[in-house]
Structure 1
Amino acid sequence: MADIICFGDLLIDFVPTQTGTGLIDAPAFKKAPGGAAANVAVGLARLGVASAFMGKVGNDPFGHFLAQTLEAEGVDIRPLRFDPTARTSLAFVSLREDGEREFLFYRENSADQNFRVSEIDKAAIEAARIFHFDSISLAAERARGTTLAAADIAADAGLTISYDVNLRPALWADLDAARPTILAGLRRASIVKLSEEELAFLAANGDLERACQQLWHPAMKLLIVTRGAEGCTVVTERCVSEITSIAVTPVDTTGAGDGFVAGLLQGLVGGDAYLEDDGALRELCRFANAVGALTTTERGAIPALPRRDAVLAALARAE
């Protein structure tokens, strides 16, 4: 069984072959396997951690391509479900010159939104150490109930709960209604990762430290605010630390945050030792920053996720 269960979306990202064009002007697209939770699962496997993916795809060529991709990467796909009546989700992603993205989703009534509570692999969750999920699977009503039910199963089994806010405005009909739903996921987690923009969306206070305090809850152990090329801000009960990243030339930022999460969770899978040692936690976050940075140096998310030796080599060069 896997040490870390990643619950959420698995889809096809169609990424322009030419950077700096909008979807209208893109001459062609490259098919790339993706989905935030799936990216984390593959990132973990490439870093040497036993991971599994729990979610749902269509019983169609894209769904089977994605399943084969995860399996080839060493991800346990036994918790994955196939829907015979709904299609696999698709996303078209345009890339600006700086590597930032614009999303156009094709996922109305898609397979991932039809994941039912009865399809949860409870035994797989209970055998793991960490349960990771994000807000993408909370945007659709049926998938929302299943996601939160899976997180509650993990909590009841004593797992560490990891949550990536991962706000995608295009997936929500009403952003004001999205806020309490996203917070419902956050309140179930002891490890939370979000961006500066997501922090501003969820917290009323503009000051970073005060905003983090607003989101803090009794079960939380670690809150990390990612800041792109600048690195991340790490918040614990004891301190607030700024961790810089390595310098890279970005090509496509798709999956960078997911790479960061994989880099973080691979260190936390053994227990709370990193959370109890501020210096060790800083080094872990430096490693996670490097994983995220290297993920931006190729097109697509899963194809770009680095292996451990590449991360260590990049960190050595940066010293």
Structure 2
Amino acid sequence: MIEVLTMGRVGVDIYPLQVGVSLRRVETFGKYLGGSPVNVAVAAARLGRSSAVITRTGADPFGLFVHDALREYGVDDRYVSAVPGLPTPVTFCEIRPPEDFPLYFYRWPKAPDLEILAGELDLEAVAGSRLLWATVTGLCQEPSRGAHWAAWRARGRRAHTVLDLDYRPMFWSDARAARVQVRRALGQVTVAVGNLDEVEVATGTRDPFEAGRLLLEAGVELAVVKRGSAGVVGMRAGETVEVAPVEVEVVNGLGAGDAFGGALCHGLLAGWPLERVLGFANAAGAIVAGRLACAPAMPTLDEIENVLGAEWPGRAQGGEW
């Protein structure tokens, strides 16, 4: 059984090796596996979970690199296929700590990961995985949108079915179009997770507690609102948990949310109390924020434990997670 099955965007991240320098002036770059749901799968695998990805690449050397990298990180690539005629996307960023990391997506004429087909899904694997993670980006175009709905129908809102609110304005005509799709999707999932910008698109408010309440009203069982330097809020029916941020010298904040996501998957599958899940995920995100890359930077269990420290109240008896 696959423990963590993610679905959606993939690409190759081309990140500067020079910090605080405009792309106009950067001279050296590193090449890394990219795409939020792919990074979440890598993060979960780094924590010992069996993980796989449903996505599509171009039939090109970058597509082959995606397969190589997934295997290197211990992520099952059997559901990754090529789309002839469409190039594997690449993404550039500028690194301007602590909070400015503009992204430049090259996904033209169309990203192959938006060509995921409902008829090619392994619905038995989708329904049988212990956790399914999808993102809002996968809803921006057909046939990907229909494939996501086919996956949700196959699961029937089985726990844990997660929607990463992951709103990227360049993939949508406007925020209203995204809001329509997100609100339809919320009734199909059990967990919604996003930052303040993303929950505002989903609910119309940036207030984390009001947004959490509205997400619960929309049908999810757990709403997680990431507040960056203000920490994170998690809400279930009758339970609200606030977790303080973990201080870190930020190098590149772009992979922090994906590390948070992989650690969130780990904690949910372990059945931990909500405060413990969120504290663990927060620490994972902070670790990656202090590193340059995304996928290669995903932390191990030991690294997260070291950040949390021996006295952290979420630690289990005897130091076992």
Contact residue 164 and residue 192 of structure 1 kept, 8 A: yes
Compute the displacement of 1:152 (Å).
Answer: 2.1
Give the equivalent residue in structure 1 for 2:48: 48
Give the equivalent residue in structure 2 for 1:203: 203
Report whether the alignment pairs 1:172 with 2:172.
Answer: yes
Matches within 5 A, 1:142-161: 142-155=143-156, 158-161=158-161
Deviates most, 50-59 or 139-148: 139-148
Compute the displacement of 1:159 (Å).
Answer: 4.5
Could you list the runs of 5+ residues in structure 1 that have no partner in the other structure? 275-279
Give the equivalent residue in structure 2 for 1:299: 292
Contact residue 259 and residue 292 of structure 1 kept, 8 A: yes
Once residues 206 and 85 of structure 2 are traced to their aligned partners in structure 1, the CA distance between those partners, rounded to angstroms, is 45
Give the equivalent residue in structure 2 for 1:137: 138
Matches within 5 A, 1:109-120: 109-120=110-121
Compute the displacement of 1:182 (Å).
Answer: 2.2
Contact residue 197 and residue 206 of structure 2 kept, 8 A: no
Compute the displacement of 1:7 (Å).
Answer: 0.6
Contact residue 33 and residue 300 of structure 1 kept, 8 A: no
Contact residue 229 and residue 293 of structure 1 kept, 8 A: no
Compute the displacement of 1:134 (Å).
Answer: 0.7
Once residues 207 and 262 of structure 1 are traced to their aligned partners in structure 2, the CA distance between those partners, rounded to angstroms, is 25
* 1:53/1:25 CA distance change after superposition, 3 Å: same
Amino acid at match of 2:139: L
* 1:230/1:207 CA distance change after superposition, 3 Å: closer
Once residues 212 and 277 of structure 2 are traced to their aligned partners in structure 1, the CA distance between those partners, rounded to angstroms, is 20
Contact residue 55 and residue 112 of structure 1 kept, 8 A: yes
Contact residue 43 and residue 263 of structure 1 kept, 8 A: yes
Give the equivalent residue in structure 2 for 1:59: 59
Percent identity, aligned pairs only, is 29
Once residues 206 and 40 of structure 1 are traced to their aligned partners in structure 2, the CA distance between those partners, rounded to angstroms, is 24
Once residues 207 and 296 of structure 2 are traced to their aligned partners in structure 1, the CA distance between those partners, rounded to angstroms, is 36
Contact residue 47 and residue 301 of structure 2 kept, 8 A: yes
Contact residue 178 and residue 201 of structure 2 kept, 8 A: no
Amino acid at match of 1:229: S
SS in structure 1 of the partner of residue 104 of structure 2: strand
Once residues 30 and 139 of structure 1 are traced to their aligned partners in structure 2, the CA distance between those partners, rounded to angstroms, is 29
Once residues 167 and 39 of structure 2 are traced to their aligned partners in structure 1, the CA distance between those partners, rounded to angstroms, is 16
Deviates most, 50-59 or 18-27: 18-27
Give the equivalent residue in structure 1 for 2:316: none
Report whether the alignment pairs 1:247 with 2:247.
Answer: yes
Please, what TM-score do these two structures have when normalized by structure 2?
A: 0.91
Give the equivalent residue in structure 2 for 1:281: 274
Once residues 194 and 31 of structure 1 are traced to their aligned partners in structure 2, the CA distance between those partners, rounded to angstroms, is 26
